[in-house]
Homo-oligomer: A and B are copies of this chain.
Amino acid sequence: MEKLNVDALFLGPKSENELFFKEMLHYLIDDFMEWRKGYHSEDHPAITADDQIQTSFQQTLLDTRLALVELAGRLQDKSMPWFSTRYLGHMTTDTLMAANLGYMLTLLYNPNNCAYEGSPVTTEMELEVGKRLAVFLGYDPERSWGHIASGGTIANYEGLWLARNLKAFPLAVAEIEPDWVQGLDTWQLLNLPSERILDLVEKAIRSNRFAAIRSASAGQKGLAAFKPGKVLVPQSKHYSWLKAVDILGIGQENLIFIPVTDEYRMDTGVLSRKLAELQQQKEHVLAVVGIIGTTEEGAVDDIHRIVEIRKAFEQKGLSFYFHIDAAYGGFVRSLYLNTDFSFSSQTELQQNLQNLNLMDARLEYPSEEVYRAFAAMPEADSITIDPHKMGYIPYATGAIAVKDKRILDLISFFAHYVFEKKEVHPLLGSYIMEGSKAGATVAAVWTALQVIPLHQRGYGQIVARGIEKALQLYHALENSHPIDTGQHRYIVRALTKPDINIVDFAFCEIGDTNLEHMNSLNQTLFEFFSYKTGRIYTNDFITSKTSLDQENYGDIPEHFTRRFGIPQSEWERVGSVYVLRSCIMTPFLNSNQPFDEFFSRFMNIMKEKLSAITQKNE
């Protein structure tokens, strides 16, 4: 198998692959134009030369031109140059040529994947893509299912909606068909494992009792009649979970935040203790959410430990739905898959990483915990994964995959199984959250996956570049010498060793133990490296930032501020640390730009800005 060439996948920071891009675009547009002309070629044109020479016609074309030129001007003036290696901020970089071109072409066909009739081609592609993603995540191809959503937030809502309606089902069974769950009390009904509930769903369908049972359940009765239980998420959570529990009627007070460890992963010891406590209080747990790639730190929760904990608690009579929010980090799993999509053993992984030249062996990637977390993903009931993040696809393309597609009947407004049985083409809008949805984004993902397989020789090569550079940046920051601007000396340190490709870091003046000063310094630096000071196009470096505060992270960030010699009393007084945050998604920190050269430029830019700050303050 010839190795995929990552440089040939992107347009490139200097539009290096411009000729190929334009050639393909022109080919596709010509092809599209001919398709239109060819449909009933005997039909007369609807717009004639007589129409086209009218003044109003020319005026309207001119108006269109002016609007587009204004759009282009505004975009050029203030857009973020993601494509450059000088942009190390949010979760965005150059996107795949295959995806961009597939998207541009397909939007002209304007398919709507809500119903097959509006999108025969892209609905089929969505089912193909959904299946590929589900299998990639380790799910059984026959039992699982997946689809494209407009974003990870919507996918997370859908996961929690599935969980909520699943959890409520056994109570409805007990009401309508008490014999089926004879001997089980309410607590036991609320703690059936997912698979057992889905067996009940299947039984209900087979015996034609599904409609009756569903009409006694949460979707029909609403949450006034069903106490939904607790939702446990790590403190590093994405804010979409706050919105999710509000929207779904669960209530934010039922959201429990589990503290994170020093590595910003969910503290599974605390999780265990919290579950035991809830069990004792007879408070049932709706769902636990684990994260693969937290938004702020790129941390990978110990998915394998959550799986073990669920197994252990199921022995003790407590069960919960397990959803993984891998919106950001999900595609990193490709690094762990052999070309036959089997999960690499540790030995195979190290061999493959070296043979494919994907990772400097001295970086000792991955850690045992991260390896085991990615291996355990298939145990989750559902997983959010966003192609528009580490799939290098344009917005708006999230996705969700579910382990057991029988669950779809619990959110479908009519019975999904009827459709499968009748072999009618799918009406996606009937068993997903969204209604009308773009087929063009689906085509973008489909085209990318045709070119780039979801394993080490495909996406693995792309994601490895970012992870390798993130680790190198981490080590370089940690080992860096103080920056001396003349009168002041500054040190920089990284928050954690990256689990994937995000590096958080902060500067501090040596000897200044005031946390407010440190925060203010980093905020000023961020302003230099963002749209906040002048035109972004002239910036030398662009990054993002985040604040780690006591409310969300407890006292864990104090372990970081301590490293700058800032006393604990300062942490207690200020309660928040401001850090710069770089997602290293760019595939262009490669052999043509050696890391040392990049890092030296990086540190020079930092020194220049620190000097400017020093002068300004004097």
Q: Which of A34, A61, A239 has the most CB of B within 10 A?
A: A61
Contact digits for A530-561, partner B, Cβ 8 Å, 1 yes 0 no? 11000011001000100000000000000000
Residue A505 at the B interface, CB < 8 A?
no
How many copies the complex holds: the figure is 2
Q: In the complex, what residues of B have CB within 8 A of residue A20's CB? A: 61, 64
Residue A567 at the B interface, CB < 8 A?
no
Contact digits for A205-247, partner B, Cβ 8 Å, 1 yes 0 no? 0000000000100111111111110000000001110110111
Taking a contact as CB atoms under 8 Å apart, the answer to whether B436 and A84 are in contact is: no
CB proximity to B under 8 Å, residues A384-415: 386, 388, 394-396, 398, 411, 413
Q: In the complex, what residues of B have CB within 8 A of residue A438's CB? A: 150, 394-396
Pick from B22, B71, B105: contact of A75, CB under 8 Å = B105
Distance between A195 CB and nearest chain B CB, rounded to angstroms? 23
Pick from B60, B111, B395, B447: contact of A440, CB under 8 Å = B395
Pick from B16, B38, B64, B105: contact of A45, CB under 8 Å = B16
Taking a contact as CB atoms under 8 Å apart, the answer to whether B45 and A107 are in contact is: no
Taking a contact as CB atoms under 8 Å apart, the answer to whether A150 and B153 are in contact is: no
Q: Which residue of B lies closest to A222 (CB)?
A: B251
Q: In the complex, what residues of B have CB within 8 A of residue A70's CB? A: 450
Tell me the bound Cα distance from A111 to B80 in angstroms. Answer: 8
CB proximity to B under 8 Å, residues A363-390: 386, 388
Residue A102 at the B interface, CB < 8 A?
yes
Taking a contact as CB atoms under 8 Å apart, the answer to whether A450 and B45 are in contact is: no
Residue A57 at the B interface, CB < 8 A?
yes
- On chain A, the number of residues with a Cβ less than 8 Å from chain B's Cβ atoms is 165
Residue A76 at the B interface, CB < 8 A?
yes
Q: Which residue of B lies closest to A540 (CB)?
A: B40
* 17 contacting pairs across A/B (C-beta < 8 A): A7-B51, A8-B56, A16-B47, A35-B75, A43-B85, A47-B592, A67-B451, A78-B121, A95-B108, A108-B394, A112-B388, A112-B395, A112-B396, A116-B531, A120-B536, A222-B245, A243-B411
